[in-house]
Structure 1
Amino acid sequence: MRPLPLLLASLMLATPAAAQAPLAAQGCVGCHGPNGAGMGSVPGLAGRDRAEMIAQMNAFRANERPATIMGRIARGYTEAEIIASAEYFARQPR
């Protein structure tokens, strides 16, 4: 194995589980808290139903669900990123 892939592989093994979340999911924790546990008035995502989160993100993207900023944020995610994030948060303990 070449040095760079070996270094990257070792870094991935050394990082905490939360840092191994999909990059799109990592963008959510600034408002939704570590592992999506929720922060203040911002609802938690951890342990929520995967299909429900996907539907809500799609509703935000289509301006069918009222929000302060989530409509703009959701439009920046691809369908694959939404699915990966929903799968990640659905697996997190509440």
Structure 2
Amino acid sequence: MLRATLLLAALAAPPALAQGAPLVAEGCLGCHGPRGAGATGVPTLAGRDKAELVALMAAFRANERPATIMNRIVRGYSDAELAAAAEHFAAQR
């Protein structure tokens, strides 16, 4: 019984997040670099205005902004998740 309880507790524990980023922002780091600081050919997210980031993601979602993959990625997130990611990256310096 104790083993089952410990197993359930381990499964319920949230995963460790890199650099204190909210889980929703973690998916961005692979392309946009550590802390969203940008990578070769990929724009910087860190330090950009939250409203600007939300507007950019909305434009990708609506196919109003040219994209290779962002228009598909952004559709997998809710408005609240996109706002949380934008808030996180806006706070990065």
Q: TM-score range by the shorter chain?
A: 0.7 to 0.9
Matched with 2:85 is 85
RMSD after superposition: 2.1
Identity percentage of aligned residues: 60
Q: How far apart, in 2, do the equivalents of 1:72 and 1:22 lie?
A: 21
Gaps of 5+ in 2: 1-5
Residue 34 (structure 2) aligns with:
34
Structure with the greater alpha carbon radius of gyration? 2
Deviation at 1:81? Answer: 0.6
TM-score normalised by length of structure 1? 0.80
Structure 1 unmatched runs, 5+: none
Calculate the TM-score normalised by the size of structure 2: 0.81
List 4+ stretches of structure 1 deviating above 6 A: none
Aligned residue pair count: 85
